[in-house]
Structure formats: structure tokens, C-alpha cells
A and B are shown apart, each in its own frame.
Chain A
């Protein structure tokens, strides 16, 4: 019994690190997105030469941000969901339900990974205009995201199984919040304290 949490711990750290790396890449892409659009406007009005590649690059960046961040959302349980049924269930049944939900998510991730891989291969010979790179780069983030969704779901499933086996029925909802609330509220509430302290500093 005692081994499971240790095993979970060893699984948890690389997954958390992976999630952190994905968030950093997404964050970097967002900053790049803002900078390139600033460059677009600067080029048009100051240099009299509009950089035409910005739009295509921006569309690539947004795909990367979306699919990486949404996969991290599975790990961090920040996606929006309706938590009424889990709230009504007892803790043990709730854990079983969460395992079922993560199985669905993991399965969806796997299908997404396989199908997007085919799509990427199919599109590889087409070139994105102005960027001169294969069109397949547009769907490649979906392949990665599909894999990550499956991996993070597996991690969450193991966490639930461990909590069931060790009778440690911690709340581990797919959206972090098991009191009938949706995720964004939790996320924002968590950050309210951050905001409060910041506001105090500001004022």
C-alpha cells in the first residue's frame, strides 16, 4: 500500500515538469505573437512595408498555444466542466467516475494523436504560403497535444487509483473543483489572493 504513493510521486514530477515546459513554450509563443503584431503595425506605418508573413506565422503560433495549453489544462484540471453529478456522489464513487472521465479523455487524446498524425503526413507535401514550410506544421501541435492529453489523463487515472487503494479520497476533479463550481471560478479565486496582494501593493 505504501508503495503506490511513492510510485505516484515519481510519476507526478516528470508530468508536472512536462506541463511546466508546455506552459513556458505557450507563454513564449504568446509574447512572440504580440511582438510580431507590433512589428506588423510598425512595418506598415513607419517602414511603409507590411511584413506579410506575420499573419501565417500568427496562425501557426495560435495553434501551438491552444493545443499545448489545453493539454496542460488536463493536468492542471483547469478546463470548464459541469460538476453537478460528481458533487452529488460519495467520495469513492466520485473517484471511480473521475477514472471513467479520464479514460474518455485519454481515449480522445489517443484518437486525436493518431488521426492528426495522418493529417500531418497528408499535409506535409503542401507548403504554407509566405512561410515556405510544410502545411503539416499546422496540425503537428495536435499530434503532440493528443499524446499529452493521453499522458496527463493516465497520470490523473493513476492518482485516482492510488487514492482509492490507499483510502485517501482526496478531491481530484477533472476541473480541480468538486463543489459544483466550474473551473474558471476556482482558477480566478486562487488568483484572487494573488490579485489582492498585488492590489494592496499598488494601492
Chain B
């Protein structure tokens, strides 16, 4: 009965539109009360849920991303992508995917990716004769690179939700190959549509332009090198490298690019604390919710239930993916990471899947959820920028969905894609 209250109340609150973080908190506190547990413990969990050192990296990554967003790095990355891959068939589609790979590696956020690159590329694509829905679709789906390619604050959430026992750096590194693989799939899909619709190509600007745009983008790209390289080399912890990345972003955008005004800096600060508040209150409330899930032994029960229906690992993993895809369509990514990780991770590890591989799979799966209706932050932002109705965009998005799903299946069933790089670093 207690479990029914926990899950039922949570579902009810979500369904009527209570903000997700508070829906989680309300369900958890009500269940604490039902079980006669002191409410003090519930709020103790909420408080201690965010008093975790590794979580401190989240505001730093968000802040660094915001500084980059408002400090002119996005435009320089688009110039680099445009000069290097713009000559291909449907060139701006390729530019879009390549820019997402570069910018995603810096901002670590899919929504920031759509917002920054979409506002730069979608209007240009429309102007050059690309259909608006194509421009929106390629921008929206390629934004998942922001989650896959390190640094990614969602990966930190996963590590914390998994109990903090795994290396964040290894998870970061594990996301690189799957992220590139997914972008490759998206580039193929973009090209296939471009050829079919006879979209234009951009003239090759010459190696000198490629070189000069690369030099202009290099200081910005170095942010990702500082964050990932600093953590990987052991010079900094992941949290410290996030802070150093943010300081570097301030220095580069204010002094080197000279594009960070005081107004833009304060805007970045305000947006960062707002996003941090949204994410961290989710973490806090999910901590109390997770306590009750463990109290009712939900992970163990779910594992036995799945094994009751089938003991075939392929079927179980496919089932997990389908459940996550459905949940991702209606709920936000951060909340799902925090709720689903303690429930589904034991199932995956019981099948012999490495927690790092599961993390990568989870990121891509829930990332796809950001691009699907009825609730998909990236899809909404992209459609809003491109002034395309959601239903119209979704009608022609399927080649991109197919590319991501193919990458997802490969990541699920071929551990080497995710695990080769982390195994190399030991």
C-alpha cells in the first residue's frame, strides 16, 4: 500500500502539472507520513541529498556553458564547422551536426545546444532554401551530443544516483565514441534527406579559411580540454576542473574574445543559478524518494518481475530501453536519471552490463526523450526558433530518430563502443 501511495501520488502530481521536483518531494513526504516515519528524516534526506562534493561540478558546468553561450563561442564554432564540412551535399545540415559535436563538448547541455546553435543556423538554413522542418529536426536531434560528449552534468547526476561508486571521468570518456557514432548516424540521415531533396552545397572556402576559423575557435574548444583533461590527468578533481573551466571561460570570453559584457555576465549568472536550482532541487527531493524506493525494495522486486517474464538478456535490455523511451517522452531527463537509475541499474548489472555502459545507454535514451513529443524541451525550443509547428516537424523527423535508435541499439548490445576508451585509461 505504501508503495502504491508513493508511485500513485507521484504519478497524480505529475499528471496534473505539479512541478516535477515538488511532485517527487510531495510523494516522498506523504509516504514517510503514511509509514509513520519521522518527517524529520525525509527533510534530512532532502538536505543531505545535495551535500555531495561531486555534485558541486554541476553549477560549474552550467555556468561555464552559459558563459560560452553568451560569450561568442557558438558563432566561432559554427564558422569552423561551416568552413570544414559546409561543402558537402546539404552542407548546412552537416555543419549543424558537426557544430553540435563541438559545442556539445563545451556546454554539456542539449537545450543550450539547440538554443545557441539553432538561433544561429536555423535562420541561415531557411534563407538558403532548406525546409524549416529539416533545419529544426537536424538541430534538435544533434543536440543530444551535448549530453553524450563530455563534460555533461547529466552524467554527474547519474553517478550520484548510482550511489557514487563509479568514476565520473571514466563515464565522461565512455560517452565520446557513442556520441560521435550517433552524430555520424545523424550526418548520414541529414545527407540522405539532402540528396533526396536536392539541398544546396556551400562552396569550399579554402584551407586558409579552415585554418583561421580553427584558430579562432581553439581557445573556446580548450574549455572542454581543461575540464576533461584536468580530471583525466588527475591534476584536478572533476569538481575543481569544472570551476577552473568556468574561470577559463570568463577569461577567454572577456579578455580574448572581448564579447562578454557585464550585462551578459550577469545574465549568465542568473540563468546558471536558475538552472542549478531546478536541477539540484530535483536531486534533493529524489534523495527522499530514493530512500522510500529502497525501503520498499523496489529495485529487487523489479528485477525479479523482469526475470519472471523472461530471462533472455536481449529481451530484458530491449524492455528497459522501451520503458525508458516511453518515460523520456513524458518526463524531464534529470528527474528520470534520478528516479530510474536506482531502479534499473541493478537489473542491468545483474545481466552483466557495466554501470558505465548502462549510464551511456541511459543518457542517449533519455536524450532522445528531449526530442520527442508530447514533452521534449529540445524539440520545443527548436520548433520555436524555426517557427515550425511541432506536429509538422515531427512528421519528417523519423530518419533522425532512426539514426539515434540504431546508435542506441549498438550501444546497448556492443559494450566495446562505450567501454574501450574507459578501459584504456585503466
**Judging by beta carbons under 8 Å apart, are A80 and B19 in contact?**
yes
User: Interface size class for chain A?
Assistant: 35 or more
Task: Choose from A38, A81, A111, A186 the contact partner of B18 (Cβ within 8 Å).
Answer: A81
**B34 within 8 A of partner (CB):** no
CB distance from A83 to the nearest CB of B (A): 6
CB distance from B324 to the nearest CB of A (A): 16
**Judging by beta carbons under 8 Å apart, are A81 and B74 in contact?**
no
**A144 within 8 A of partner (CB):** no
Provided the pairs A111-B39, A188-B111, A195-B116 are in contact, do residues A182 and B53 lie with their beta carbons within 8 angstroms? no
- State which residues 100-120 of B face A: CB under 8 Å: 111-112, 114-116, 118-120
Contacting residues, chain A, for B259 (C-beta < 8 A) = 198, 201-202
**How would you classify the secondary structure of chain A's contact residues: helix, strand, loop or mixed?**
helix
Contacting residues, chain A, for B70 (C-beta < 8 A) = 194-195, 198
**B198 within 8 A of partner (CB):** no
**How would you classify the secondary structure of chain B's contact residues: helix, strand, loop or mixed?**
helix
**A4 within 8 A of partner (CB):** no
**Judging by beta carbons under 8 Å apart, are A199 and B39 in contact?**
no
Provided the pairs A65-B273, A100-B16 are in contact, do residues A199 and B75 lie with their beta carbons within 8 angstroms? yes
- Complex Cα gap A84–B46 (Å): 28
Contacting residues, chain A, for B40 (C-beta < 8 A) = 115, 118-119, 122
- Complex Cα gap A96–B236 (Å): 52
Task: Choose from B15, B47, B69, B240 the contact partner of A37 (Cβ within 8 Å).
Answer: B240
- State which residues 182-203 of A face B: CB under 8 Å: 182-189, 191-192, 194-196, 198-199, 201-203
Closest to B73 in A: A202
CB distance from A98 to the nearest CB of B (A): 8
Closest to B242 in A: A37
**B51 within 8 A of partner (CB):** yes
- Complex Cα gap A67–B53 (Å): 17
6 examples of A-B residue contacts, CB within 8 angstroms: A30-B269, A73-B274, A73-B278, A79-B20, A139-B47, A198-B72
Q: Which 6 A-B pairs have the closest CB atoms?
A: A69-B277, A37-B243, A79-B19, A185-B380, A202-B72, A70-B281
Instruction: Taking A69-B278, A101-B18 as given, write out 10 further A-B residue pairs in contact, using a Cβ cutoff of 8 Å, ordered by the A residue number.
Output: A27-B266, A33-B59, A62-B56, A66-B277, A70-B21, A70-B278, A84-B15, A85-B15, A185-B384, A199-B75
